[in-house]
Structure 1
C-alpha cells in the first residue's frame, strides 16, 4: 500500500471518528445557532430602516400629506401619513407607538422620545414646500409651475473605501476572509494538536505505527481534520446565507467568484502550513494538559502574522511591505486574500505566493515529520523540541519490535 493510500485511509478515519463524536456535533450546532442568531436577532431589533409614520392633527394644509410623501421618496424613506381629529387622539397614538412623530397645526412636532433628525428633515421640508406654494399662489404664480420648480431632487449616495478604486464591500470582504481563516486555523489546528496528544496518551498511536509510518500518519490526520473543518465552515456559510436571504437584516458584501476561489485556496494552504506544526508540537507532550503549553509558540507566531498582514494590507495594499507579506509563506494566507479582494495584485503574484507556500509546506512536512517520528512514542515529561530533533533513531512501537529469542532454559537472550 502506497503512502498516499495510507494517508487517505487515516484521513477517512479522522473524518469518521470525529464526525460521530458528541463534542463535534455539539460544536457544529452551537456554531450554526450563533451565526443564525447574529443575523436574525438584529432584524427583529432594528426598526430604523422601516417605514416612518407621521401623524397630522388640528389645522394642517390639505397639500401637506402629499408634500411629506414626496420629501420621503426623495431620500428613499417610506412615509405613511395618519390624520387625527384632535391633539389628544394624536398624542395617544404617539404614546402607543402607532406613529413616530405628531405634527400639530403644521408648526409643532411632538416626539415619543429623542428626535429622529432624518424624519424631522422630511416633515419640515414638506411644511416649507407647502408654505412656499401657498405664498406663491397668493402672489399670483401658477401652482403647477411652482410645483415643478420646487420638486425634490433625488440624491444618490456613493460610499468610498479608504483606498482609491475600492469600495467598502471590497474592504469588508478582505477583513471577513482573513478573520475566518484565522479562526479556522486556530480551531482545527488545535484539533490536530489535541488529537495527537490523545492518541499518544491512550497508546492508540502504537497500534497505528505498527502498520503506518509516522510521517504518513501525521499527514493523514492533518488532511482528515482539514476536510472536516472545511465541510463545517461550508455548512455554516450556507446556513448564514439562507438566514440572510430570509430576514434581509445584513448586507452581504459583493464578492466575485474568483475572490472566493482564491479564499478557498488560501484556506487549504494556510491550514496545511500551520496544522503540520501543531501536529509536530503535539507529539512533544505526553498529557492533554501539556498540549497548549507546547503549542504556545505557534499561537504567538500565528497572531503576529495575522496582525502584521492585516494592518499592513488595510493601510497600504499596494505598498512594498504588503507585497512582501503576501509572498512570505507564514503571512501569505492572511495578506494575499485581502489584496486579491482589493484588486491590488498582478496576475503572477498569487501564483508565486502559492508556489512559495507549497514549497514551505513541503519542507515543513519533512521537518515536522522528523519531530513527530522521534517524539510520538516518548512518554513521561514533556519532550523538548531540541531533543526530539536531535534524536538519531525513533523508538519502535511494541507491536513492530522483533520478538526476543528464548534460550533452552526459558530466559530471553535480551535478559542475558
Structure 2
C-alpha cells in the first residue's frame, strides 16, 4: 500500500503543482460568470443603445399608423426626443421609394426601414430592411412598437379603452411545474431537468478529459522509457492503479471547485446583475440531500475508473500518440453513444430505453444521474446498476493491468487482436 500511495502522491502532486492546472481551474469560474451574467447584461445594453430616431417608416396603409409607430419608438406620447422619419406613399410610389432607401440602408446611412401597408392592418405582416451594422434587437423593438400601434388602432375601431385592452391582451399563463416522485419528493421540473442534464454532461466531459490525460501519460512514459526505471521498484498493477487514482484525485479537486463556483454564481446572479442595472429574478437550486449525492459520487468515481482503465490499456499497446488517437476511437464511441441516448432519456426517463441503458455499465455513469434528477428511480435499480458498474470497473482495471504489464516494455511492434486477448487472459 505504501508504494501505491507513493505513486498516487506523485501523479496527484505533479499535476496539481502545474501552472496549467491552476490556470484551467481558475479560468472555468470566470467562463461560468461570463455565461451567466454576460448575455443578459449585453442584451440590456444593446436594447438601450439602439437609436431608432434615424430610421425611416414607409407608410402605405393610408392611415396614421406610421406616425403611431414612430411615436411608440420614441417612447410614447409624452416623449420629447427626435422621432423616426415617416414617408406616406401610394401603391405606385412605394417601390421607387424603397429602392432609393435600400442603398442608404446597405451603406449603414439608415439603420432600418420599416415598410407597412394595408396588409399590415389586416394580418400584421410587414417588411423590415435592416442595415448590416444594426443589432438584431432593432427588429425586435420595431416589431413590438408595430404590435402596440396595431393593437391601439384595432381597439379604437372597436370602441374599447386601450389600457383595458392591453391588460386583457397581456394575460400570460405561467405554470410552475412541480414534479412529484413516487417516494413523495417534489421539486421544480425545470430545475431538476437542468440539474440532471448538467450532471450527465459534466460527468461525460470529466471522464473524457481525464481519461485522455491517463492515455497521454501512459503513452509518454512508454515513449520516454521512464516506466523501465519505475517498474524496477513498483509492480505494473500498482503503477497503473496509482496513475488512475492520482489523476482521479485531480479531477475531484477541480470538479469540486468548479461545482462550488457555479453554486455561488447562481445564488448571487440576481444581485450581480442588479449591481449592473439589470433586473433579473434569482435562479433556484435543486434541493439535493447528502444521500442523493452518494450515488452521483459513486457513478463519477466508478465511471472514471472504468474508462480511465480502458484509456490506459489503449496507451499501453500503442507506440506513439498518433496511434493512440486512432486506437482510442472504440472507447470514445462508447461514451458518445451514451450521450446520444440523452434525448430519449430526457423525453421518458422511466421508459424502456432509459431503464435498460442505465443498467449497462458503459452508459450508466451518464444516464443514471440524469434519471435520478428527473424521476424517482427504484433503489433496486440503482443498486444493480452500481453493482454492475463496479464489477466492470474492476474487470477493466484487471485487464488493463495485465496489458500494462506485458505491453509496456514492448516497442516497435503492434500487437494483434489475438495477442491482446492472450495477454488479458494471462494470470499473474
Q: Which residue pairs with 1:75 in the alignment?
A: none
Query: Partner residue of 1:297?
Result: 330
Residue number among 394, 401, 410 corresponding to 1:362 in the alignment: 394
**Partner Cα separation in structure 1 for residue 412 and residue 30 of structure 2:** 41
Q: Output the TM-score relative to the length of structure 1.
A: 0.67
Checking the alignment, whether the CA contact within 8 Å between 1:18 and 1:24 is kept in structure 2 is yes
Q: 1:184 aligns with which of 186, 206, 217?
A: 206
Is 1:114 matched with 2:139? yes
Tell whether the 8 Å contact from 2:402 to 2:423 is kept in structure 1 after alignment: no
In 2, Cα distance between equivalents of 1:89 and 1:118: 19
- Report the CA distance between 1:312 and its aligned residue: 3.1
Distance 1:296 1:149, change over 3 A: closer
204, 210, 234: which is aligned to 1:212?
Answer: 234
2:66 is matched with which residue?
none
Alpha-carbon displacement from aligned partner over 1:88-138 (angstroms, at most 9, x marks no partner)? 64669xxxxxxxxxxxxxxxxxx9943545676678878999999xx89xx
Distance in 2 between the 1:10 and 1:120 partners?
69
Distance 2:46 2:296 in 1: 32
Aligned length: 347
For residues 119 and 155 of structure 1, the distance between their equivalents in structure 2, rounded to whole angstroms, comes to 19
CA distance in 2, matches of 1:302, 1:330: 7
Distance 2:230 2:376 in 1: 47
Q: Return the TM-score normalized by structure 2.
A: 0.66
- Closer, same or farther: CA 42–216 of 1 in aligned 2, 3 Å: same
Offset of 1:274 from its aligned partner?
0.6
CA contact (8 A) 2:403 2:424 kept: no
CA spacing shift, 1:157–1:192, aligned 2, 3 Å: same
Deviation at 1:326, TM superposition (A): 0.9
Matched, 1:24 2:21: yes
The more displaced of 216-225 and 115-124 is 115-124
Unpaired segments ≥5 residues, structure 1 = 52-67, 69-79, 93-110, 137-142, 395-416
Q: Counterparts of 1:311-350 in structure 2 under 5 Å?
A: 311-350=343-382
Counterpart selection for 1:264 from 297, 303, 306:
297
* Structural RMSD (CA): 4.6
**In the alignment, which residue of structure 1 is the partner of 2:36?**
39
* Separation of aligned partners in 2, 1:218 and 1:321: 35
Counterpart CA distance in 2 for 1:233 and 1:123 is 52
Give me the whole-angstrom Cα distance separating, in 2, the residues matched to 1:380 and 1:25: 37
Q: Which runs of 5+ in 2 are unaligned?
A: 49-71, 86-127, 131-137
Is the alpha carbon distance of 1:257 and 1:191 closer, same or farther for their aligned partners in structure 2, counting shifts above 3 Å? same
Tell me which residue corresponds to 2:88.
none
Q: Are residue 6 (structure 1) and residue 3 (structure 2) matched?
A: yes
Rg comparison, structure with higher value: 1
